[in-house]
């Protein structure tokens, strides 16, 4: 392990007000999203969609790294160029999702534990040879009156820490993702309490496993009320509570926090990220960035709809959402950016 390389890569991921774009949906998840749009659920369609994303002009202005899936990292553009090469040539760092999914946890009804540690050392070696410089592992924490349990928080945190240690041994920056889910009617205060607990547990295990925090990126949920909670706080209140929670639980040695979007709309995710940076950026120890999947991709996926003729318009929508999030990192995102936008002289329809 070369510590300086890990530190450099982790710093680059959150440098220059950029962030990560997750295009690492597993085959079943990608197929589910395609099915909703009536797009064929084939390897060819998944490849074409990922090519659309990877070849989006000027994506690297706002996106520092792309998180790929095992199928995607092995694919090529129509002209035969490996995706990895196209990504690096665009000035973007390639990353890879390495967990194998969340499975039901034994003796813990309603809870899940993420798997994928078996054989991970060998897989990381292969991904590193292919050019991946960072990795992602997602733990999911479901919420209701009686969960999460201690057992779920501890098992997921330990797996995240063992994954992170294996990544650093292989010279790969771990993106550590403990996600407290938004499904449920819990209050924002309960989300804060659980997110704080989850993060304390994760950092305790990272310490035990000797993970170097300077070479690690945290990918948490924003602190938000459950989707069906009657009380829905505004953007500023959510920003205040999220930052309070993170200041209490994330060591200053971590270079960056890159939020997941978790099903928020693109506009809301940008507005919330923006509020955190407007209100706190100048006095936070870490960069507050994004690692969004749906909140960047969704409009582009809907515009593309599986049709070659829609590629350019879909790329404009993707570029637009990425650009909004870079503005949000600077505290410069305003709702007016969402008015029908222009790009390279071509007017684009506002993404729904």
Contacts with ligand 13P by CB under 6 A lie at: 22, 138, 177, 260-262, 292-295
Contact 171, 8 (CB under 8 A): no
CA separation for the pair 131, 79 (Å, rounded):
20
| Shortest reach from residue 54's CB to ligand 13P, in Å | 16
| Nearest-CB residue for ligand 13P | 293
Smaller CB separation from ligand 13P, 48 or 222: 222
DSSP state of 259: E
List active site positions: 177, 219
| Shortest reach from residue 102's CB to ligand 13P, in Å | 10
Give residues with Cβ within 8 angstroms of 133, minimum separation 6: 9, 65, 93, 94, 95, 172, 173
- Coarse DSSP helix, strand, coil percentages of the chain, rounded to the nearest 5 percent: 50, 15, 35
| Shortest reach from residue 149's CB to ligand 13P, in Å | 22
Contact 67, 175 (CB under 8 A): yes
| Shortest reach from residue 221's CB to ligand 13P, in Å | 8
| Shortest reach from residue 219's CB to ligand 13P, in Å | 7
Contacts for 236-242: CB closer than 8 Å, 24+ residues apart: 236/275, 236/279, 237/188, 238/188, 238/272, 238/275, 239/272, 239/275, 239/276, 239/278, 239/279, 239/280, 240/279, 241/188, 241/189, 241/192, 242/272, 242/276
Smaller CB separation from ligand 13P, 215 or 262: 262
Smaller CB separation from ligand 13P, 111 or 312: 111
Smaller CB separation from ligand 13P, 273 or 312: 273
Smaller CB separation from ligand 13P, 146 or 321: 321
Which CA distances in Å does 291 have to 163, 220, 295? Answer: 19, 9, 9
* Per-residue tokens: 286: 């870490």
């Amino acid at each position: 392990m070369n510590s300086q390389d890990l530190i450099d890569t982790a710093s680059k991921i959150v440098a220059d007000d950029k962030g990560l774009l997750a295009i690492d949906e597993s085959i079943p998840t990608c197929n589910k999203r395609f099915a909703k749009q009536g797009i064929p659920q084939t390897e060819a369609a998944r490849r074409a969609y990922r090519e659309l994303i990877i070849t989006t002009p000027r994506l690297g202005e706002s996106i520092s790294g792309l998180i790929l899936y095992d199928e995607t990292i092995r694919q090529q553009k129509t002209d035969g160029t490996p995706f990895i090469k196209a990504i690096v040539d665009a000035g973007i760092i390639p990353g890879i999702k390495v967990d194998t999914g969340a499975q039901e946890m034994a003796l813990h009804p309603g809870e899940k534990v993420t798997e994928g540690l078996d054989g991970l050392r060998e897989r990381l070696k292969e991904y590193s040879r292919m050019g991946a410089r960072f990795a992602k592992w997602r733990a999911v924490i479901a919420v209701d009156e009686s969960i999460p349990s201690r057992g779920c928080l501890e098992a997921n945190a330990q797996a995240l820490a063992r994954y992170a240690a294996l990544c650093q041994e292989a010279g790969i920056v771990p993106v550590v993702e403990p996600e407290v889910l938004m499904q449920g009617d819990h209050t924002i205060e309960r989300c804060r309490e659980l997110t704080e607990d989850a993060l304390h547990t994760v950092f305790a295990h990272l310490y035990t496993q000797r993970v170097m925090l300077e070479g690690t990126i945290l990918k948490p949920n924003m602190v938000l009320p459950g989707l069906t909670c009657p009380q829905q706080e505004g953007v500023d209140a959510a920003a205040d509570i999220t930052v309070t929670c993170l200041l209490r639980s994330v060591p200053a040695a971590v270079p960056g926090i890159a939020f997941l979007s978790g099903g928020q709309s693109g506009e809301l995710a940008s507005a919330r990220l923006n509020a955190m940076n407007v209100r706190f950026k100048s006095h936070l120890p870490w960069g507050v960035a994004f690692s969004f999947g749906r909140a960047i991709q969704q409009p582009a996926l809907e515009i593309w709809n599986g049709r070659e003729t829609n590629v350019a318009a879909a790329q404009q929508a993707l570029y637009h959402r990425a650009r909004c999030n870079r503005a949000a990192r600077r505290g410069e995102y305003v709702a007016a950016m969402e008015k029908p936008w222009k790009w390279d002289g071509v007017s684009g329809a506002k993404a729904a």
